[in-house]
Structure 1
Amino acid sequence: MTATPPSTPLTEPELDRLHDILEAGHASMNLESMDGYFTALICGPVFVSPSQALQQVLGEDFVFEGNEQAADCLALMMRHWNWIAAELQRTLVEPHVYLPILQEDDTGVARGDDWAHGFMRGVQAHPGSWSDLLNSEDEGGALVPMMMLVHEHDPDPEMRPPSMDSVKREEVITMMIAGATRCYGYYEAVRREGVMVQAPMRRHTPKVGRNDPCPCGSGRKYKHCCALNLH
């Protein structure tokens, strides 16, 4: 049997199978969140080993039904990681955009919230390393659509962006997809020069209060930094 190339995209049946495994095992992330999380880690300036990322997706309490399921799940996740990396690499040499996995809700609407949560969880695994992008005059807005969707249902009304109708949501999701590509291109020089360093990943992402230091690492209070982009 011919082995499947490592960067071959998962088929629909394979995506369904991976979705079912993550859901049945109560993984820390669903399929959409995993896609966003992987994308952020691949885009960023800090090297994270895929095996470490896979562990974060599954969570500490995840239990496989057996060795066969474990091997199948990890192989599918690893292949998806490699495919995202290959798709983002293509954006540097041709007019190509990586299209994320966005699952539809019961009404058939792709909301994008889970993907945004996954992406920002990847960013906040090493918030200080993203500070130069967030402070960039040209590219600092790349993460704004992700933050809008992350805070869409925030318990604090001041943290929520303006309400979105279907047209506005599609616009924000389009901006989010483009923003991820911009993030990847922004840090390409760091990756090319081989100066990426491996750092431990944060296990959890606590809620950020308005008077807390901004997680981007700028040194300013959150309400005077990234929170401003939500209004």
Structure 2
Amino acid sequence: MKDSNAKPLTEGELDRLEELLASFDNAMTLERVDGFFAALICGPELVQLEEWLLAVLGENYARANDDDARNTVLLLIRHWNTIADTLEFTLSEETVYLPVLSLDEEDGVAHANEWADGFMDGINMRRESWQELFSDENHAGSLVPVLMLYHEDDPDPELRTDPKALENREEIIQVMIASLTHIYRYFDERRQENARRDAAESMPRKSDKVGRNEPCPCGSGRKYKHCCGAGSSTLH
């Protein structure tokens, strides 16, 4: 039987998640969550579920309706796992992760600014560990599409992206999607090293061998390969 936490969200479930997020005070939008998750999954360091939940839903999320809070968390975990699984496939297959982008109500165009904001939120949560990529002259260009969209409406005129550079927004978004795969591959070795280190610190030294597709013994509800035995960056 397929792990219920591994099933991608349907269109209806994405709409429901969007509604639930809007019901919390100071929660991220769905588009921003998607970018935030993508950065955390691509990055070299694992982030615990409790930490990213606080960032996504805000400090008062526990005060919301219990059923709504529970359903929101379950939907968020499934969406996280969808992104993590798809990006892991990019290591061995010709595939890409397609971001969840909202269409502007006025022009019907996906602007992707909130997605870029979320991605930068994820980077800033572990900024020091991302510095390697920012400083790498050969690979830092993979961050350019995100930074262009992130700085489009920057209050500082000197940081604001030149509007002419964003005239072909659809092309920039396509490059951003391809760059996501590049960033995930760039940090893959570091991510696996950190996952092994964290697993060694958190798991008992003497334990029965756990299959990669079996439930993780830590109780997160996810497969071992996506949790304490992570070679990918699905977190708990």
Query: Same fold by TM-score, threshold 0.5 exceeded?
Result: yes
Please give the secondary structure, in 1, of the residue aligned with 2:52.
helix
Residue 160 of structure 1: aligned partner: 160
State the Cα distance separating 1:182 from its structure 2 match: 1.0
Partner of 2:169: 169
**Letter of the structure 2 residue corresponding to residue 182 of structure 1:** H
Residue matched to 1:149: 149
- After TM superposition, the score normalised by the length of structure 1 is 0.79
Partners of 2:77 and 2:166 in 1: CA distance:
33
1:122 paired with 2:122, answer yes
SS of aligned partner of 1:159: coil
Determine helix, strand or coil for the equivalent of 1:34: helix
Deviation at 1:132, TM superposition (A): 1.0
**What is the aligned partner in structure 2 of residue 96 from structure 1?**
95
Cα shift at 1:168: 1.3
Output the CA distance in 2 between the equivalents of 1:41 and 1:196. 17
2:39/2:120 contact within 8 Å kept:
yes
**Cα deviation 1:139-180 (Å, max 9, x = unaligned):** 111111111111101122111111158751111111211121
Identity within the alignment, %:
43
Decide whether aligned partners of structure 1 residues 64 and 72 sit closer, same or farther in structure 2, where only a CA change above 3 A counts. Answer: farther
Q: Does the aligned pair in 2 maintain the 1:35–1:100 contact within 8 Å?
A: yes
* Aligned-partner Cα distance in 1 for 2:145–2:22: 27
For 1:71-92, what per-residue CA distance to the aligned partner results, in whole angstroms no more than 9, with x for missing partners?
1111000010111100000000
CA contact (8 A) 1:46 1:196 kept: no
Which structure 2 residues correspond to residues 1-231 of structure 1 after superposition, within 5 A?
Answer: 5-62=4-61, 65-106=64-105, 107-164=107-164, 168-194=168-194
- Give me the whole-angstrom Cα distance separating, in 2, the residues matched to 1:141 and 1:165: 15
CA-CA distance at 1:4 after TM superposition: 5.5
| In structure 2, C-alpha distance between the alignment counterparts of 1:52 and 1:63, rounded to whole Å | 13
Deviation at 1:3, TM superposition (A): 7.0
Contact 2:27 2:57 in 1 (8 A): yes
Paired amino acid for 1:162: D
1:129, CA displacement in angstroms? 0.6
- Describe the shift of the 1:141–1:165 C-alpha distance in structure 2 as closer, same or farther (beyond 3 A): closer
- Structure 1 residues 157 and 89: CA distance shift in structure 2, 3 A: same
CA contact (8 A) 2:45 2:194 kept: no
Task: Provide the C-alpha distance between the structure 2 equivalents of 1:117 and 1:103, rounded to a whole number of angstroms.
Answer: 13
State the Cα distance separating 1:60 from its structure 2 match. Answer: 0.9
TM-score of the aligned structures, taking structure 2 as reference length:
0.77
Is the 2:5–2:74 Cα contact (8 Å) retained in structure 1? no
> How many residue pairs align between the two structures?
197
- Report the alpha carbon displacement of residue 137 of structure 1 after superposing the two structures with TM: 2.2
Partner of 1:211: none
What is the CA distance between 1:134 and its match in structure 2?
Answer: 1.1
CA distance in 2, matches of 1:65, 1:140: 41
Runs of 4+ in 1 over 6 A off after TM superposition: none
Deviation at 1:46, TM superposition (A): 1.1
What SS does the corresponding residue of 1:6 show, helix, strand or coil?
helix
Deviation at 1:113, TM superposition (A): 0.2
What is the RMSD computed on CA atoms of the aligned residues?
Answer: 2.0
Q: 1:165 to 1:142 in 2, by over 3 A?
A: closer
1:157-215, Cα deviation, whole Å (9 max, x unpaired): 111111158751111111211121111100101122346777xxxxxxxxxxxxxxxxx
> Aligned partners of 1:159, 1:178: CA distance in 2, in Å?
24
Residues 90 and 96, structure 2, Cα contact 8 Å, conserved in 1: yes
